[in-house]
Amino acid sequence: MTLSTSQVPRRCLLHLDASPRREGSFSRQLTQTFVSLWQQANFNHDIVYRDIGTSPIPHIDETWVAAYEAEPEQRTLEMQAAIALSDTLIDELMAADCYVFGIPMYNLTVPSSFKAYIDQIARRDRTLHLNNGTLQEPLQAKKLMVITTRKFNYRPGSGREDRDFLQPYLTAIFNILGLTDITYIHADRLASDPAEQQQSMNDAMTAIHRLAPIF
């Protein structure tokens, strides 16, 4: 029995790029391939795109913190304006069924633009809170694909694994938000000679072609 388009549950993918480079970005190349393959496998879908690399998310400030700590009905107009983007970003997260994030490694961890994004979405009143004593984790049923690009090899056995503060950080923070279904694809050794660089990109592309259609 073949289901009609109207009978297939509509899926929503949130696609986020964190690279500040519009041209020549390895991570953008990889996420674009992932999204294209995902689209082909999910004909009844929506895609929301968020580019925090070229349109950076602002860091939180004093007014934002005041809004965060205040009850919604007690927020001034200034507080409401300060936290409005945070609400928009969280609404995007909640509406999506799955996520693909392209994140280059900068100085052993995530770019500051992505840290700003995390600070905007990690809120106890929205993404993690207690309801009658029960811990609510709205992201628990969702899944995340993280595609990273790194100059060197930080995999176990590389001798540099203790310097990888990107994957452990992302795993920890998203686990706190209830998101535990996380898959990583790493394109590393991108500062190596062209042949090794190309091999790493080919390996990442192979993983993307295998995983995107079933994600």
Q: Indicate which CATH number applies to the domain containing 16.
A: 3.40.50.360
Q: What is the pLDDT along the chain (215 residues), one digit of tens a residue?
A: 445 555 667 899 999 999 999 899 999 999 999 999 999 999 889 999 999 999 999 999 999 999 999 999 999 999 999 999 999 999 999 999 999 999 999 999 999 999 999 999 999 888 876 565 555 677 888 999 999 999 998 888 888 889 999 999 999 999 989 899 999 999 998 888 899 999 999 999 999 999 999 99
123 assigned to some structural domain:
yes
| Residues spanned by the domain of 66 | 9-214
Q: Identify whether 1 is part of a domain.
A: no
Domain annotation covers residue 53: yes
Does some domain include residue 2? no
Bridge partners of 101, per DSSP, are: 16, 146
Positive or negative, the CA dihedral 108, 173, 48, 184 is: positive
pTM over 0.85? The answer is: yes
| Domains contained in the chain, number | 1
